[in-house]
């Protein structure tokens, strides 16, 4: 019998992408996916190191598996991702029942390390210091028939004082445009409707091979790919945002009217302390330019509350920018001290009570703005790509869910129409809630798709650069820094 596996993913979109590759590698090596997490022969943790509770979460989960493994001696546990890159052999010291520790730069080594640990009957810790194999060239097992992540770069050249990602992911490495487009074409040919271009700083793409306009060119090239209906990207850095990217977004029909651009703070003093190399006026000017070209664009952001030294005046500056920017939504975070980052050693770390109170004020303001924006969409017709994880009927309302082109979550009533994940519907918005849109009117249209056919048949299809795969990104949950 083949061994079974499960992969548990924490953190950013890049980790979701890497977990798809880990699953693809294991299946290529003969493993089968387990129906249950604890029942798997191999449990892989793909970890995040950005926030403080990441450590607690990992070691809590490892403790939970210790007695499970005692009862099943052949079971193996592997830990990869950013926390593995950071903690290295410390993981095995704190949890000696772990069999394999591997880093962000050697995802491809997972099957070999598992076999070596099994053969040698001892833990294998292997952390590469630089990227060995670009993860997107590895086989992938995706979870959706209709959407997929496509990594265009890994690593980051920025030095934000709160962020540990560059130390764990390394400096930026760019894929060649031809390789990226080959992957996108392959996905589209297989029925995938939506692709998200992924990188720690997507609009710095091309710097490594000397083409500052490479990202705008890449967006335009995606516009000519048959069958590709939606293109998203995450996340850009305001420092590198240029007018040619905005023009490409506006002029390429399948690039979605959505922009996730981290603000982090509205205070110029805090932005300097964070080493964020732009100021609030520059940030707001980008938003103005985007809205001039794409009036209906949904703009979202990341904001950190309580960075060391933040005064009430600094926080008020953030509230002022949020009020002016009118974000569709914001991923808001209380500052989390991370060992190894410059900010961890800064003076004037704020009391928890102060940070919490400011955080609640920011959330209240953003909810008010988001709700007003969603109410303004009542009566509007939206195109919804029905989602798998979000596409299950609510037992009380019988609603299904999916994403509009601007990324908003839409709950709709299918009525007697047989709608599958991966299908596309048009619905009239009857109610705008703070965090989603509702349509209880009859559907205006329903388009069956190849992805919906595959979803209904229970068949996951897909190829990644000619390698067997399966597909699906989750909704975007934040960009660089605190959420990467």
Three-class secondary structure assignment of the chain: CCCEEEEEECCCHHHHHHHHHHHHHHHHCCCEECCCCCCCCEEEEEECCCCCHHHHHHHHHHHHHHHHHHHCCCCEEEEEEHHHHHHCCHHHHHCCCCCEEECCCCHHHHHHHHHHHHHHCCCEEECCCCCCCCHHHCCCCCEECCEEEEECEECCCCCCCCCCHHHHHCCCEECCHHHHHHHHHHHHHCCCCEEEEECCCHHHCCCCCCCCCHHHHHHHHHCCCCCCCEEEEECCCHHHCCHHHHHHHHHCCCECCEEECCCECCCHHHHHHHCCCCCHHHHHHHHHHHHHHCCCCEEEEEEEECCCCCCHHHHHHHHHHHHHHCCCEEEEEECCCCCCCHHHHCCCCCCHHHHHHHHHHHHHHHHHHHHHHHHCCCCCEEEEEECCCCCCCCCCCCCEEEEECCCCEEEECCCCCCCCCCCEEEEECCEECCCCEEECCCCCEEECCHHHHHHHHCCCCCEECCEECCECCCCCCCCCHHHC
Q: Using alpha carbons, list the distances in angstroms from residue 186 to 15, 21, 145, 231, 461.
A: 22, 16, 13, 15, 11
Say if strands 424-428 and 445-447 run parallel, antiparallel, or are unpaired: antiparallel
Largest CA distance in the chain: 65
Per the annotation, binding residues are: 12, 48, 82, 156, 160, 163
- The CA distance from 21 to 80, in Å, is 12
Residue pair 311/274 in contact by the 8 Å Cβ criterion: no
- The CA distance from 439 to 328, in Å, is 19
Copy the structure tokens of residue 435. 């965090």
- The CA distance from 151 to 176, in Å, is 11
Provide Rg for the chain, Cα atoms. 22
The angle, 0 to 180 degrees and rounded to 10, between the axes of the packed helices 243-251 and 214-222 is: 0
Residue whose C-alpha is closest to residue 403's, from 474, 462, 344, 482: 474
Domains of the chain: 4-132 (3.40.50.12160), 381-452 (2.40.50)
Residue whose C-alpha is closest to residue 281's, from 268, 297, 291: 268
Per the annotation, binding residues for [4Fe-4S] cluster are: 12, 48, 82, 156, 160, 163
> What are the residue ranges in the chain where pLDDT is below 50?
459-484
pLDDT score recorded for residue 476: 39
Whole-model pTM: value is: 0.88
CB burial of residue 390 (10 Å; 0-12, 13-18, 19+): middle
How many Cα atoms within 13 Å fall on the side-chain side of residue 265? 31
- The CA distance from 248 to 230, in Å, is 14
Residue pair 79/61 in contact by the 8 Å Cβ criterion: no
Q: Using alpha carbons, list the distances in angstroms from residue 273 to 54, 160, 316, 444.
A: 24, 9, 17, 51
pLDDT score recorded for residue 340: 83
Q: Using alpha carbons, list the distances in angstroms from residue 122 to 100, 119, 277, 309, 420.
A: 9, 8, 46, 47, 47
């Amino acid at each position: 019998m083949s061994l079974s596996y499960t992969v548990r993913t924490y953190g950013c979109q890049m980790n979701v992408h890497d977990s798809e590759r880990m699953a693809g590698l294991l299946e290529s090596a003969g493993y089968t996916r387990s129906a249950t997490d604890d029942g798997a022969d191999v449990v892989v943790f793909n970890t995040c190191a950005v926030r403080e509770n990441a450590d607690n979460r990992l070691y809590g989960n490892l403790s939970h598996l210790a007695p499970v493994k005692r009862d099943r001696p052949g079971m193996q546990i592997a830990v990869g991702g950013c926390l593995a890159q950071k903690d290295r052999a410390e993981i095995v010291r704190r949890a000696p029942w772990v069999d394999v520790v591997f880093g962000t730069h050697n995802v491809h080594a997972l099957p070999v390390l598992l076999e070596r640990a099994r053969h040698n009957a001892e833990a294998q810790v292997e952390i590469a210091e630089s990227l060995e194999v670009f993860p997107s060239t590895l086989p992938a097992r995706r979870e959706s028939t209709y959407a997929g992540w496509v990594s265009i770069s890994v690593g980051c050249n920025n030095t934000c004082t709160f962020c540990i990602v560059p130390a764990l992911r390394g400096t930026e490495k760019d894929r060649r445009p031809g390789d990226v487009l080959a992957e996108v074409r392959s996905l589209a040919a297989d029925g995938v409707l939506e692709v998200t271009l992924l990188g720690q700083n997507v609009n710095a793409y091309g710097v490594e091979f000397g083409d500052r306009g490479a990202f705008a060119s890449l967006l335009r090239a995606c516009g000519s790919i048959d069958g590709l209906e939606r293109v998203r990207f995450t996340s850009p850095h305001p420092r590198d945002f240029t007018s040619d990217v905005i023009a490409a977004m506006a002029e390429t029909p399948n690039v979605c009217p959505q922009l996730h651009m981290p603000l982090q703070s509205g205070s110029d003093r805090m932005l300097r302390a964070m080493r964020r190399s732009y100021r609030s006026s520059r940030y707001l000017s980008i938003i103005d330019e985007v809205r001039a070209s794409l009036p209906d664009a949904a703009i979202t952001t990341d904001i950190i509350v309580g960075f060391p030294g933040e005064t009430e005046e600094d926080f008020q500056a953030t509230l002022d920018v949020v009020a002016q920017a009118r974000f569709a939504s914001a991923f808001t975070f209380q500052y989390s001290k991370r060992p190894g980052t410059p900010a961890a050693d800064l003076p004037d770390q704020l009391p928890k009570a102060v940070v919490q109170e400011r955080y609640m004020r920011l959330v209240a303001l953003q909810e008010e703005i988001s709700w007003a924006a969603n109410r303004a969409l009542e009566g509007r017709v939206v195109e919804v790509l029905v989602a798998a994880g979000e596409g299950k009927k609510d037992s009380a309302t019988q609603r299904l869910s999916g994403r509009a082109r601007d990324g908003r979550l839409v709950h709709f009533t299918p009525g007697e129409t047989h709608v599958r994940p991966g299908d596309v519907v048009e619905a009239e918005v009857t109610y705008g809630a703070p965090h989603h849109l509702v349509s209880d009117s009859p559907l205006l249209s329903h388009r069956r798709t190849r992805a919906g056919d595959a979803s209904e048949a229970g068949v996951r299809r897909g190829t990644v650069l000619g390698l067997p795969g399966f597909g699906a990104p989750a909704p975007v949950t934040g960009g660089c820094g605190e959420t990467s």
